[in-house]
Chains A and B, each alone.
Chain A
C-alpha cells in the first residue's frame, strides 16, 4: 500500500505492507538508519521518534496510522532544546557504543521541550523507557541537567 508520510518536514511516499511499523519503514524503506532497532516491543526506547512533538516508539507504531502527522527523527530534530542536548552530550562524552543514544537524545529533547528545568524524578520518568546496556545513565542525567541549565 502507498502512504505519504511527513518526516522531518518533508513528504515521503512509501510502499510498505499494511501495518508495517514506522521503524522498518524509516530504516529499510527510506534508509534513515539513525532510529535504531533494539527490542521490537517498545521496551528499550532505541527507536524513539517524535510524532507531533511527542516521543513515541517507532517499533510498535504502524506507519499507516501516521497519515498527516509530523514525524521527526534524530536526523531532523532541531531547535533550542535539541541544540542544548547535543552540545551537552558532546561536552561530557555521554555515549559509549552509541547505539541507544538516538533514542536517549530524542527522549531527552522531548523532556526539555515539555519541562525546561526537570527534577531528578522528571528525568527518571522521562528516561526510564530508554535502556542503555553500556549504562551511561550517570552521564545522561548530568547532560540533561547541563542542557537545562544552558536554556
Chain B
C-alpha cells in the first residue's frame, strides 16, 4: 500500500497531482530528466502544440561532468532534484525532512520559481538518506538558508536547458525562448512547447555553468516570498499521508523496548515467562548494551516483539527484569542544580573578554547580581520516535521519521555491522521533531530487532519512552553581574554560564561548554557595554544531553534578556528604551575580536553580520505593534525580549494578567521577525506563533528532573504542556521586509519567549522569576 512495484517507498501523491505516476524514478542517471526511454512513446503523443516540421536535431548526449556540483550550498545539478515526465508532470525531490516547518512547500517554491514550473503539476518525492544530496540534517533552521541559492541555481539551470531545447527545436536563438509555467514560448510567434516535450532533449544538452545563468529578479518571483499553500495540508485534513508511525509492511511485527532506567544502565537478568503468556507476544530479544559514549547508539534493554503494538506494550508490562544501574545512578537534579549554581559563583574559563570587567566591577558604585536556572527539557514531538525495518539478503531498509537520514544510515550500518551502502533510509513525514529526531538511536534499534525477528518490525516508542529516555535539553545555571554608573548605564557585564555540554553525549568526560554552544546567545551577546566577560564552568552529563529547538539560546537568551530588564528596573528606566540603549549604535559586531571562537551558525559574518540595527528595528517594531507605553489594566504587565539566533532577529512583546493567587493569563503576544529574505510568508508567521508558544510551554511547565539517575516524568499527566485555553487570544506577527540573505525561521522565535514572559510577569507583580520553568509540577499558579 505504500510500496512501489519495485519495492521502493513513496508518499502517496496529492489528490490534485494524481496523474501519470507509473514510472519509478529511481536510478536516474545524472544526465537524464526522464524515467526511461519507454516513457517517450507517451510523450510523443502530446506534440499537438507544435508544427509537424519542428523536430529536434540528432545529437549525442553531452558527456562533460556537471559544472554545478560545487555551487554555494551544494550540488545544483538539475537531475539531482528534478524529473520531468513526458506529460509535463514535474517531480521534485525534497532532500530535507518535513516536520511541520513546511519544507516541502518552501523547497518547492524555490525550485519551481526559477524553473518556471506549474505549481499544479508538481509532485514531491522525499529523498532517501544519501550523501549525494549534501547535508540533509534538517536541524539548525538550515533548510532555506543553506539551500536557497543552490536550489535557485538548480531551477535556473533546468530552465536554461529547457529554453535551449526549445531553441534547437524551433531553430531560433535561445534569447527568443522563454519558459513560463511549464511551457516554453517562442516570444515572437507565441509558438509553445510543454516541458514534457522538451525534457528528454534538454537532458542531452550541456549543463550550464553558474555564470551562464541569470537568476530571476526579486520582482519577478512567482512563488518565493508568497504565502504559497502547504503541500501537506490537503492530505492531513483527511488523515492521509504517511508519518513514521503509519508505515505498514506485509507480514510486519511490532515491538517496544524496555530500556534501562538509567543512562548506561544494563540488563542484569530478565524472565520473559509472563511476557510470553501475553496473547500476541511472539518473542523477546536482549539488545546490546549501550556504548560509551552513548552517541547515537541504542540504549540497550529488552525488546518485546508481538503481532500488534498493544500486545508488545502489555508484554513489556509483564516482563520481570533486573537492572544494573550503572555509572549515572547518583544523578539527582536537586543536588546537581546546587552544584552548578556553586560553580557559577566561582570564576570560570574566560571565553570572551572586552575591556577589564574586574576593574570596572571593583570600582563600581552599584553592582547588580542575578542567578538564573533552567531545568532539563524534552523535545517530545507529538509523534514519538518510531522506525520500521526490513532485512533482505543482508541488506536493511528502514522507514522512519528522521531529521537526519544520513546519520541514521551510518548509525544503522555501524550498529548492525554492515556497510552503509547496504542500508536504505526512507524518510516519512515527521510528526514533529524539535531536535529529537536528529538522533537516530531508534532507527538502529528497529534494525537490530528486525534482524533478530527475521521479519519486518515496526518499533514504537511510547510517550513514556520518549519522556524518560530522550536526549534532554541541558539543565543550566547562570550568574550575571553588572555595574551601573551614575546615569544607570552599565559599565561592566560578567556572564558565567554552566551546563552539561551536548559533547558529553558523544565524548566521554566532556564537561566544558563548547564554543559552538556559547555562541548560542552568550559569546554573541551584542550589548554596547565597555567591559564584558563571558566565563564558562564545568558540568558533567548524566543523562543523554541533546539539542532542542533553538538549543542553548533557550537559557542563555533567558538570562541575558531577563538581566537586561533587571538592569532597566535598577536604573529606573523603561525596559524597551533601556534595551535599545544596550543595543547601542547601529554597527556590525564580531565576537571573534574579543576572544570568542564564534562560528555564526556556520555562515560567514561578512554575509550574515551581527547587526545591531536589525536588532533595534525588530525591537521598535514589536513595541509599536503592542502599543508599548499604553496604560495597562490592573494586574496586567508587559515585557519585551529581543534576540538574534540562526541568523535571524526576533523581538517579542508579551502582555500578561496575573491574579492575586498567581493564576496567569497570557493576554497578547506581538512579534517582529527579520529573517532576511523570506520564502513563505504564511508559514513564517506560523513558525513565529508555534515557536513562541513552544518556548512558553517549556517556560511554564517543561521541567524534566532525575532522581537516582531516573527521569521522574512519564507522560502528559505529570509533564504538562500548553493547551488551547492557555494560548493567548491575540497574537500578531510582523515580518520585516528585507533583501538580506535568508536566515532561519523555525528556531529564532523560541528564545525571546521565556524572557519576554518573565519580564511581563515582573511588570505585573514586581516578582522576578529566575528559574525555568515558572510553574512546578504540583502547582497551577506562578510563585508570585
Q: Please list the residues of chain A having a beta carbon within 8 angstroms of any beta carbon in chain B.
A: 16-18, 20-21, 24, 27-29, 31, 33-41, 43-44, 46, 73-75, 86, 89-90, 93-102, 105, 120, 123-125, 127-128, 130-141
Docked complex: B265-298 residues within 8 A CB-CB of A: 278-280
Residue from the set B99, B722, B727, B729 with the largest chain A CB neighbour count within 10 Å: B727
Contact A135 B382 (CB under 8 A): no
Contact A133 B724 (CB under 8 A): no
Asked if B432 is an interface residue, CB under 8 A from chain A, the answer is: yes
Given A20-B310, A41-B717, A133-B721: A139 touches B233 (CB 8 Å cut-off)? no
Contact A97 B429 (CB under 8 A): yes
Q: How far is the CA of A97 from the CA of B434 in the complex (A)?
A: 11
Contact A95 B236 (CB under 8 A): yes
Tell me the nearest residue of chain B to A76, going by C-beta: B239
Asked if B138 is an interface residue, CB under 8 A from chain A, the answer is: no
Q: How far is the CA of A125 from the CA of B725 in the complex (A)?
A: 8
Known: A86-B238, A97-B99, A141-B724. 17 other contacts (CB 8 A): A28-B308, A33-B246, A34-B240, A36-B382, A40-B313, A40-B715, A41-B715, A95-B232, A97-B430, A97-B431, A98-B100, A98-B236, A98-B431, A102-B239, A132-B382, A133-B721, A136-B686
From B239, B383, B693, B715, A137 is in contact (CB under 8 Å) with: B693
Asked if B79 is an interface residue, CB under 8 A from chain A, the answer is: no
Given A40-B462, A89-B237, A124-B725: A97 touches B683 (CB 8 Å cut-off)? no
Asked if B222 is an interface residue, CB under 8 A from chain A, the answer is: no
Query: Cβ of B686: which chain A residues have Cβ within 8 Å of it?
Result: 93, 96, 136, 139
Query: Cβ of B715: which chain A residues have Cβ within 8 Å of it?
Result: 39-41, 43
Contact A131 B729 (CB under 8 A): no
Contact B308 A24 (CB under 8 A): yes
From A21, A90, A97, B382 is in contact (CB under 8 Å) with: A97
Asked if B504 is an interface residue, CB under 8 A from chain A, the answer is: no
13 contacts between A and B (CB under 8 A): A21-B310, A27-B309, A44-B382, A93-B682, A93-B683, A95-B237, A96-B432, A96-B686, A97-B382, A97-B433, A98-B236, A133-B381, A137-B693
Interface residues on chain B, number (Cβ under 8 Å): 68
From A17, A73, A105, B310 is in contact (CB under 8 Å) with: A17
Query: Cβ of A105: which chain B residues have Cβ within 8 Å of it?
Result: 237
Q: How far is the CA of A100 from the CA of B432 in the complex (A)?
A: 10
Query: Cβ of A93: which chain B residues have Cβ within 8 Å of it?
Result: 102, 229-230, 233, 682-683, 686
Q: How far is the CA of A21 from the CA of B731 in the complex (A)?
A: 38
Q: How far is the CA of A141 from the CA of B728 in the complex (A)?
A: 10
Q: How far is the CB of A134 from chain B (nearest CB, A)?
A: 5
Q: How far is the CA of A102 from the CA of B240 in the complex (A)?
A: 9
From B98, B254, B311, B433, A17 is in contact (CB under 8 Å) with: B311
Asked if B481 is an interface residue, CB under 8 A from chain A, the answer is: no
Q: How far is the CA of A120 from the CA of B280 in the complex (A)?
A: 45
Query: Cβ of B233: which chain A residues have Cβ within 8 Å of it?
Result: 89-90, 93-95, 98
Docked complex: B717-766 residues within 8 A CB-CB of A: 717, 721-725, 727-729, 731
Given A33-B246, A98-B429, A99-B431: A74 touches B239 (CB 8 Å cut-off)? yes
Contact A97 B254 (CB under 8 A): no
Q: How far is the CA of A12 from the CA of B432 in the complex (A)?
A: 32
Looking at chain B's contact residues, is the secondary structure mostly helix, strand, loop, or mixed?
loop
Contact A134 B723 (CB under 8 A): no
Asked if B243 is an interface residue, CB under 8 A from chain A, the answer is: yes
Asked if B43 is an interface residue, CB under 8 A from chain A, the answer is: no
Given A31-B248, A41-B717, A96-B100: A135 touches B308 (CB 8 Å cut-off)? no
From B239, B309, B689, A135 is in contact (CB under 8 Å) with: B689
Query: Cβ of A31: which chain B residues have Cβ within 8 Å of it?
Result: 1, 248
Docked complex: B55-103 residues within 8 A CB-CB of A: 98-102
Query: Cβ of A86: which chain B residues have Cβ within 8 Å of it?
Result: 237-238
Given A29-B308, A38-B463, A75-B239: A97 touches B381 (CB 8 Å cut-off)? yes
Chain B 680-691: CB-based contact to A (< 8 A → 1; otherwise 0)? 001100110110
Q: How far is the CB of B442 from chain A (nearest CB, A)?
A: 15
Query: Cβ of B383: which chain A residues have Cβ within 8 Å of it?
Result: 36, 38, 97, 99
Contact A28 B693 (CB under 8 A): no
Tell me the nearest residue of chain B to A106, going by C-beta: B239
Query: Cβ of B232: which chain A residues have Cβ within 8 Å of it?
Result: 95, 98
Contact A43 B717 (CB under 8 A): yes
Query: Cβ of B195: which chain A residues have Cβ within 8 Å of it?
Result: none
Q: How far is the CA of A101 from the CA of B230 in the complex (A)?
A: 14
Q: How far is the CB of B460 from chain A (nearest CB, A)?
A: 7
Tell me the nearest residue of chain A to B725, going by C-beta: A124
Query: Cβ of B313: which chain A residues have Cβ within 8 Å of it?
Result: 40
Docked complex: B359-381 residues within 8 A CB-CB of A: 380-381
From A21, A90, A101, A139, B229 is in contact (CB under 8 Å) with: A90
Contact B248 A123 (CB under 8 A): no
